[in-house]
Amino acid sequence: MPITVQDALPAISQLRQENVFVMPKSRASTQEIRPMRLAILNLMPNKVETEVQFIRLLANTPLQVNVDLLRLDTHRSSANSEQHLDMFYRYFSDVKDTNYDAVIITGAPLAHLEYDEVGYWQELQEFFDWAEHHVTSTLFSCWAAHAGLFHHHGLKRELQGNKLCGVFEHQCYFDHGALTRGFDDRFLVPHSRYGHIDIDKIAECEELVVLAGSDEVGAYLLKNQSGSQVYLTGHPEYDADTLQKEYQRDVDKGLDVDKPKNYFPEDNPALKPSKTWQSHAFLLFSNWLNYYVYQTTPYDINLVSQDVRTNNYAE
């Protein structure tokens, strides 16, 4: 089954070139099934690129998923035209009475700001609380993962002097975890962040389970016991050249930054990097949609607000 988005969304053309099945809403409306409803709160400045990355992963499932793109009322993105946002995004205030089977909250380039220094922090906290009562499962990505862990569990990140940037090897900490089902013993994931939460502090929180990580990156994949919150501190959605673009952008600014680790062939930025994490990324999102959304969400989406979860895949 396809991902369903608004008919004229620019991401459609790029995804179709990759042979990704994306269905316009005009066609989906003719099908008599109950599709899952998913929203993406896109906090990244590069809206279209981020849309493509996440919709690509969501489309690799037999489930039909209707996607809404959301924006916060108090956040204005300087890098995007208001026309694109007005055409394809809904304000949070417009969906407060709406229930979703799943929500993704993207990262944001706010590495060196304290949370209360973020202009839209108050509204984002309101969104976090709203999701707990209107969404079956919420996936927090990178900066949003640290922000969510702080808001929901009081875990404060520490800022490292050097950015953790590159493609790193990870391992699963459970043999039969639902989210990591089918993973290889070792798998690769890109990271690009300054923030870090010590895994020992996370372990003190009984509500959280660390499913995968490594000594070098710490905790990568976490969830709460019910699966209503899933946290990713890395970027499985990244394209092959995303880290390359970030590195070049920092170099052009005159910043003294290290090259991304384990990324460029022969550690040479002039050589084209390969995408070595895509199969893991597809499997992770497929597992999440299957085990913590589709098999857990009530058929009547109006019951989501009553915190009805039919299964508990606690690892």
Which residue of the set 146, 235, 246, 280 is catalytic? 235
Q: What pLDDT is stored for residue 222 in this prediction?
A: 97
Catalytic residue among 134, 172, 237, 246: 237
For residue 292, how many C-alpha atoms fall within 13 Å in the half-sphere facing its CB?
29
Closest by Cα among 5, 1, 86, 44 to 235: 44
- Res 35: pLDDT: 86
pLDDT of 245-300, one tens digit each? 999 998 998 888 899 999 999 999 999 999 999 999 999 999 999 999 998 888 88
Contacts of 155 (CB under 8 A, 6+ apart): 149, 197, 201, 202, 205
Q: What confidence tens digit (pLDDT) does each residue in 199-218 have?
A: 999 999 999 999 999 999 99
Beta strands in 55-196 (DSSP E): 65-71, 89-91, 100-105, 135-141, 158-172, 186-196
Pairing of strands 186-196, 158-172: antiparallel
pTM here is 0.88
Active site residue 165: no
Q: Which of 142, 146, 153, 165 is catalytic?
A: 142
Reported as a pLDDT band with limits 50, 70 and 90, residue 36 is very high
Catalytic: 205? no
% of residues, the chain, pLDDT over 90: 69
User: What pLDDT is attached to residue 31?
Assistant: 44
In the Cβ-directed half-sphere of 204, how many Cα atoms lie within 13 Å?
8
> Is 235 one of the annotated active-site residues of the chain?
yes
Between 60 and 144, residue with greater pLDDT: 144
Look at residue 6 in the predicted model and tell me its pLDDT: 65
